[in-house]
Amino acid sequence: MIEIIFILSIITILFSYYSLEAEDRLHSVISLGLATISAGCIFLYLGAVYVAVFHFLVYSGVMTVLFAALAHFLPEDVVAATIEVAQVDVSKEVAQDA
């Protein structure tokens, strides 16, 4: 039992990491959807059927479709500017902490 939960947790972590590191926005959305599906499988395996069904329908389904539509319709320059702003904010916080 623990082995299956451990494997599903590792799969969730790997897909989540890839969704952050992927260069293509569509690959990020797909890997985020797969990460949420594997997290829903953990709920299902633990016996929380209602939580798993809600997670599959709302979080994995609707949110992944919403993110895919947003990634498709958002211009590339807006995404690049957002990433630059996020990197600048993080570097300022790191400089202040040091």
- What is the share, in percent, of the chain residues with pLDDT greater than 90? 35
Q: What are the domain boundaries of the chain?
A: 2-97
- Residue 98 gets which letter from DSSP? -
pTM: 0.70
Which residue is it, tokens 């993080």? Answer: 90
Q: What is the DSSP letter of 24?
A: S
If DSSP codes are grouped into helix, strand and coil, which group holds residue 47?
Answer: coil
Residue 68 has pLDDT above 70, yes or no: yes
pLDDT digits (tens, 9 = 90+) for 7-41: 999 999 999 999 888 888 888 888 988 999 999 99
Amino acid code (one letter) for 31: S
CATH number among 1.20.120.1200, 3.30.70.3000, 1.10.760.10, 1.10.3720.10, domain 2-97: 1.20.120.1200
